[in-house]
Amino acid sequence: MRSRIIGTGSFLPERVLTNHDLERLVETSDQWIQERTGIRERRVAGSDEDCRALARRAAERALAAAQISGQEIDLVVVATCTPDHIFPSTASGLQRILGVRPGAPAFDVSAACSGFIYALGIADQFIRAGSAQRALVIGAETMTRILDWEDRGTCVLFGDGAGAAVLEATEQEEGILATRLHSDGRYESLLYVPWGPGQGFPALQERGGYIRMRGNEVFKVAVNTLARIAEESLEAAGVEQSEIDWLIPHQANVRIIQATAKRLNLPMSRVVLTVGEHGNTSAASVPIALDTAVRDGRVQRGQLLLLEAFGGGFTWGSALIRY
């Protein structure tokens, strides 16, 4: 028994913030941003769009693609590091809104940019163990709410959005072949937010609740780590690199993506690249890229997909999927 993806969906807020818009906020340029990140624009959630609202839109599209209703879901896992509330979880609110069966487990996962891969791996294990038959897995973020708009090293990178996938138990050969999840807290100081509710509001006023990042150090660790995690998943499934049809990576920086593809001997023509249109949407970036490639026809049934991500913590993970 394993899980297979039967539907995907994604959603981006309407408001577009271009590199030229950012030129009026901080000392930067469209050329500088594109050369170093590949980002041309990002989306910003409106005042009436919280994390749950974005997640709901992506989830509804994934359910529609799977041709099922929320009542047929028996597990909801939401990956986010920008939830609307400390509690209840974003997932429990979606459970009610989407009509998922009362009593079904619904919870959030916090693993920063690796969140969707973590959530996918958890849901896959639920299904493999027979604890769920159909799962809704979502990555949703409102990253612009934790940006310092005077810090050009971070405010040019991130955007808001959500992506989702519906998993179903199967005994067929297609599905999730292997997932691998890792973390290393020694790198916490390279990418973090220096405040949490447990520290109290005086600490918030003193430190600010904004992303802090040492970009060059993060880049170096990310490139080396992503290549290793990809190889680990391939080895676990007994698959050769040459068999990969599509690499669907975390959409953080085009240079990291290019370096990872090179290490895997994959041409960029076999890499799904969407970072230019929405920037780094953290846990939402992999499912947004997956849904984009499914809907535009690049990803076809039977193809082999390698999903991978790297995020604050540091966390990293990969999933090898026979779509």
In the chain, what are the domain boundaries? 2-171, 176-322
| Active-site residue, from 19, 81, 155, 250 | 250
Give backbone dihedrals phi and psi of 187, rounded to 5 degrees, phi first.
Answer: -100, 15
Note if 81 is an active site residue. no
Would residue 19 show up in a list of annotated catalytic residues for this protein?
no
User: Would you call 113 a catalytic residue per the annotation?
Assistant: yes
- The answer to whether residues 100 and 94 touch, using CB atoms and an 8 Å cutoff, is yes
Of the candidates 51, 81, 113, 155, the residue annotated as catalytic is: 113
Kindly indicate whether the domain formed by 2-171 is annotated with CATH number 3.40.47.10: yes
pTM for this structure? 0.97
The pLDDT profile of the chain, 323 residues, written as one tens digit per residue, is 899 999 999 999 999 999 999 999 999 999 999 999 999 999 999 999 999 999 999 999 999 999 999 999 999 999 999 999 999 999 999 999 999 999 999 999 999 999 999 999 999 999 999 999 999 999 999 999 999 999 999 999 999 999 999 999 999 889 999 999 999 999 999 999 999 999 999 999 999 999 999 999 999 999 889 878 888 989 989 999 999 999 999 999 999 999 999 989 999 999 999 999 999 999 999 999 999 999 999 999 999 999 999 999 999 999 999 99
* Residue among 139, 133, 136 nearest 168 (CA): 133
**Domains 2-171 and 176-322 belong to one CATH topology:** yes
CATH class belonging to 176-322: alpha beta
Distance CA 188, CA 182 (A): 14
